[in-house]
Amino acid sequence: MTVATRSRVRSTLRLLSTLLIVSGSLLLADAGATLVWEEPVSSLYAQFQQGDLQDQLDRLERVKPTPVEEKALKKLPDPERRLAFAARSLDRKTHEGDAVGKILIDRIGLSSVVVEGTDAGDLRKGPGHYPGTPLPGQRGTVAIAGHRTTYGAPFRKIDKVRPGDEINVVMPYGRFTYKVERTRIVAPTAVWVTQRVSYDRLILSACHPLYSAAKRIVVFARLIRAVPRGAAA
């Protein structure tokens, strides 16, 4: 092997070692960020999605009721019935992945657009409303799921929510305030958490513990106030 060849080999090896060191450092940085905050790449994706969803929600709130809907709403003087009618109307028009409202939790600094659906693609955008449960304004248990470590991790700090905290869900037709009653750790198969009870409530669900899907953490909250807005007002 000539001197020139040995020099080229050494240069190539140095370059490879530098690339490996840089790659390793980036992976460690990514892992560290995930442990302390959330997975950064999917988080950036979720931020873009949330921006698009907010635009979609803004447009949705500007949509006027159809003449048939407006006529029906005028015949419903009771606010609860107007809210229920508006909720059913939105439910009929909504497809999975569409923006439906916004969830706000002061305790954990959460303000996120909620989408319809809980499939993998839906939850990459933000918290997702379980299609089999009612929308706020309808009777029953409203259920919303969200990620804790990836895609913006909207529910990362859900374990910090305490009894007595308020959770607000703002829909195009109303603002709904729920008071947290309790938090439970359950099996992933615990479908009873979405069952209807004697009062209207909200549950928030996420994987537990962090970085594991072994169990679910579920926050139970009771509806304490519903204020019509938009067409329902």
Indicate if the alpha-carbon torsion angle 56, 57, 63, 65 is positive or negative: positive
Identify the residue whose tokens are 């916004």: 102
Is 208 a catalytic site residue?
no
- In single-letter form, the type of residue at position 37 comes to W
DSSP string, 90-153: HHHH--TT-EEEEEEEGGGTEEEEEEE--SHHHHTTS-EE-TTSPPBTBSSEEEEE--SSSTT-
Catalytic residue, chosen from 95, 129, 207, 208, is 207
HSE of 30 in the Cβ direction (CA atoms, 13 Å)?
Answer: 13
Is 95 a catalytic site residue?
no
Catalytic residue, chosen from 95, 129, 147, 208, is 147
Radius of gyration over every alpha carbon of the chain, rounded to an integer in angstroms? 23
Of 151, 196, 162, nearest in space to 46 by CA: 151
The torsion angles phi and psi of 154, rounded to 5 degrees, stand at: -60, -30
Q: Which residues are catalytic?
A: 147, 207
